[in-house]
């Protein structure tokens, strides 16, 4: 599940995206829900495929948040105050791998419960026309897989948690 909180005209808005079969169930701040079959970000354009067609919006990430350009209007959303989850600092040495930047998960090479070797490629993240592979920091087991292919993630999102294989620390 992906959850983002933004402020728009001093109102706190929460956007939730949950995996749903082969797509996503998107819950908007007003409670409206939409099924998205596929999402793709290219340059500064977000394209969503739904059962009724395609929706395309221009967006721009700013240091303060996100601007969405749609039908001649600009909507500016500020990131909400730092949440408890983002206050916690994680380290790959702890086996918690976070997104180093906002991007699109283009490939996931492991599943929850898989054994992994130190340095093994776990997933690929695309951002600003470059791809970055995240690799296992040590030999262990995929304890938690929080993303899937095609998912847009924000910087600091916890993507994968690796637990040390029993006996590895001894």
> Which residues of the chain carry a pLDDT beneath 70?
1-2, 80-93, 166-170
pLDDT of residue 92: 56
Distance (Å, whole) CA 138 – CA 120: 9
pLDDT at 41: 76
Pairing of strands 140-145, 115-116: antiparallel
Domain at 2-79: CATH architecture: 2-Layer Sandwich (3.30)
pLDDT at 170: 42
Question: What DSSP string runs through 2-65?
Answer: EEEEEEETTEEEEEEEEEETTEEEEE-TTS-EEEEEEEEEETTEEEEEETTEEEEEEEEE-SSE
Digit-coded pLDDT (tens) for 100-147: 888 899 999 999 999 999 899 999 998 877 888 899 989 999 999 988
Q: What is the pLDDT of residue 51?
A: 85
Beta-bridge mates of residue 17: 2, 26
Vertex 150: Cα angle to 91 and 16 (nearest 5): 75
Report domain extents, the chain: 2-79, 88-164
pLDDT of 114 reads: 95
CATH topology of domain 88-164: OB fold (Dihydrolipoamide Acetyltransferase, E2P) (2.40.50)
């Amino acid at each position: 599940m992906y959850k983002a909180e933004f402020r728009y005209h001093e109102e706190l808005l929460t956007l939730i995206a949950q995996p749903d079969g082969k797509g996503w169930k998107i819950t908007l701040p007003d409670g409206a829900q939409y099924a998205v079959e596929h999402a793709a970000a290219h340059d500064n354009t977000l394209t969503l495929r739904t059962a009724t067609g395609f929706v395309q919006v221009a967006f721009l990430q700013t240091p303060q948040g996100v601007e969405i350009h749609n039908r001649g209007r600009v909507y500016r959303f500020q990131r909400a105050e730092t949440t408890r989850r983002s206050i916690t600092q994680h380290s790959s040495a702890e086996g918690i791998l976070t997104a180093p930047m906002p991007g699109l998960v283009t490939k996931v090479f492991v599943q929850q419960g898989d054994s992994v070797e130190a340095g093994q490629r776990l997933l690929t993240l695309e951002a600003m026309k470059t791809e970055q592979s995240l690799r296992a920091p040590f030999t262990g087991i995929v304890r938690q897989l929080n993303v899937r292919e095609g998912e847009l993630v924000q910087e600091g999102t916890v993507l994968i948690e690796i637990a040390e294989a029993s006996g590895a620390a001894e």
